Structure 1
Amino acid sequence: MIGVFDSGHGGLTVLRALVDAAPDRPFVYLGDHAAAPYGPRSEDNIYRLTIAGMDRLFAQGCRLIVIACNTAAAVALRRLQQEWLPSAHPGRNVLGVLVPMVEAITRVPWMIDTVPPDHLAEPRSVGIFATAATVNSGSFPREIGKRAPSVRVVQQACPDLVPLIERGASDDEIEPAVAGYVRVLLDKMGSQPLDTVVLGCTHYPLVRHLFARALPPGVEVLCQPTLTARSLEQYLDRHPEYRPDPAERGLRFFTTGDAALVSELAGRFFGHPTPFERLR
């Protein structure tokens, strides 16, 4: 069984792509709505909350978890993989959404921490739109820089977007915020043209059209759900130990918050009704 973890609704965009790519696999989703959003929190707090989420999903029988929250993945993933997971849950693993995006931008596998001598990445510029915690962690520029130092990375925190999207705000309400963040990032670019932007929060695919409208023509917009699904398929091909038990079936949704309220709002992210259960 594969777990998918997010601070709220955003990870449902990733879950939908995973289910579409592997409809026969059982998935368990957990949204930590009681503690959302993670973006304004301290790194230590995010780390503790992420570990608590992992423990809840492992207790549900998951053997592999995808952290579908950029904030949690950027701040906590490497540390929990190295310090917590081997002793707390040996034989199980946790992956994150940041890795497939870095691989897509740099065209270098994640396990390679330094640039191969024969790898010549073309000079280009990448804009990152993300939560404040993801931006402050420096994970995107650090990991991209290791693998493709010729790529210029410019980041822009978007603190208003997750609250707006989570409460189901209309495009008319969200568009001014998106346009404002795009203007600030373009100002940071100066005279250098922008080639690609990363929507570095799993909520943002729902407003991809607003980013595309605000950005200059020709800028590529990368979203994480499809990249994450493709990466997970490749990982599962390499790790047959995570094949599902024949008795495991279906799709379950859990939240640490108000299950009725979460169920009402979450369908927009997943594409059809999502009956959440409360998980303490």
Structure 2
Amino acid sequence: MIGVFDSGHGGLTTLAALQRDLSEQTFLYLGDHANAPYGSRTPGEITALTRAALQSLFDRGCTLVIIACNTAAAAALRDLQQGWLAREYPRHRALGVFVPVIEALSGRGWADDNPPDDGADQRIAIFATQATVASGAFPREMAYRARNVDIRQVACPGLVEALEAGQTGQARALARDFAGRLDGFVPDKVFLGCTHYPLVADAFAAGLAPGTPILSQPDCVAASLRDYLTRHPRHGDLPGDTSRETAYPTITYLTTGDPAQVRSAARALTGHDFDFRSL
């Protein structure tokens, strides 16, 4: 069983792609709605909340967790991997969602430690939370892999809050406004650096130059996870394997918030029903 964790509803966009491309797997989704959003929190708070979420999923039988929150992945994952996880859970894995995007943008594998390639003067715009932008994780990791890449980051305060509250009209207006804040910078590619943002991807597109390609993070993550499970099959369910007894259906949804409110907001955002239960 694979855990998928997000600060709130954003990870549902990643989970949908995982379910589509890895239908043989069992998923346990945890939304930390009681503490959302993470984007305005300190690195210490983000790390503590991420660790608590990982612990909850490990306790429920997950040996692999996808941190479907760019803020948590950017601000907390490296320290947790090198510290707490290495000490307490050496056989468990927590993987972040921005690694597959860096691989897609740079054309380089994460473990490739060769000198940076020529990025051919790419211009990339990244829209993300305040904490993700402040972490510098995306430009830092790109610099390790590609030269001559011009990255413009735009922090989007208030957008996650609007989405979490199910205020889709306000969220769409904010997304279009943020997309227009590039101040003459014309990107070759756009990356929505928060898993909530694909919920209003069309609003971002409306504020950009027509035809500007927006990278699909959920698709990148799904392809990367399939490759990972091919190399590390012990962390997933093999097709036709009935040896793993589980009390969970194919997907279970847990929340630290009020399940009724979370279900209502999720339906307002996605048009789908999710049977969220209390953690």
Structure 2-normalised TM-score?
Answer: 0.93
Question: Hey, what does 1:273 align to over in structure 2?
Answer: 273
Question: Hey, what does 2:240 align to over in structure 1?
Answer: none
Question: Hey, what does 1:93 align to over in structure 2?
Answer: 93
Deviations 1:109-150 (A, max 9, x none): 11124535xx43321110000000000000000001110121
2:129 to 125, 128, 131: 131
Matched, 1:11 2:36: no
Mapped to 2, the partners of 1:121 and 1:150 lie a distance apart of 5
Is the 1:200–1:223 contact (alpha carbons within 8 Å) kept by the matching residues of 2? no
Mapped to 1, the partners of 2:234 and 2:105 lie a distance apart of 29
How much has 1:269 moved relative to structure 2? 5.5
* Matching of residues 70-219 of structure 1 within 5 Å: 70-115=70-115, 119-171=117-169, 173-187=170-184, 189=185, 193-219=186-212
- State the secondary structure of the residue aligned to 1:246: coil
Question: Hey, what does 1:239 align to over in structure 2?
Answer: 232
Deviations 1:136-179 (A, max 9, x none): 000000001110121111100001211111112233x3333223
- State the secondary structure of the residue aligned to 1:20: helix
Is the 1:28–1:251 contact (alpha carbons within 8 Å) kept by the matching residues of 2? yes
Is the 1:11–1:69 contact (alpha carbons within 8 Å) kept by the matching residues of 2? yes
Mapped to 2, the partners of 1:136 and 1:88 lie a distance apart of 29
- State the secondary structure of the residue aligned to 1:225: helix
Mapped to 2, the partners of 1:144 and 1:114 lie a distance apart of 13
Is the 2:179–2:205 contact (alpha carbons within 8 Å) kept by the matching residues of 1? no
Q: Which amino acid aligns with 1:23?
A: S
Aligned length: 272
Is the 2:9–2:266 contact (alpha carbons within 8 Å) kept by the matching residues of 1? yes
How much has 1:259 moved relative to structure 2? 1.2
Mapped to 1, the partners of 2:212 and 2:65 lie a distance apart of 32
Is the 1:129–1:155 contact (alpha carbons within 8 Å) kept by the matching residues of 2? yes
Mapped to 1, the partners of 2:113 and 2:154 lie a distance apart of 25
How much has 1:184 moved relative to structure 2? 1.8
Deviations 1:227-269 (A, max 9, x none): 1111100100111222325324521111111111112222456
Question: Hey, what does 1:52 align to over in structure 2?
Answer: 52
- State the secondary structure of the residue aligned to 1:94: strand
Mapped to 2, the partners of 1:138 and 1:150 lie a distance apart of 17
Judged with a 3 Å threshold, the aligned counterparts in structure 2 of structure 1 residues 269 and 101 are, in CA distance, closer, same or farther, namely: farther
- State the secondary structure of the residue aligned to 1:123: strand
Structure 2, unaligned stretches of length 5 or more? 238-242
Q: Relative to structure 2, which stretch is displaced further, 82-91 or 6-15?
A: 82-91
Question: Hey, what does 2:22 align to over in structure 1?
Answer: 22
How much has 1:183 moved relative to structure 2? 2.3
Q: Relative to structure 2, which stretch is displaced further, 235-244 or 137-146?
A: 235-244
- Superposition RMSD in Å: 1.6
Structure 1-normalised TM-score?
Answer: 0.92
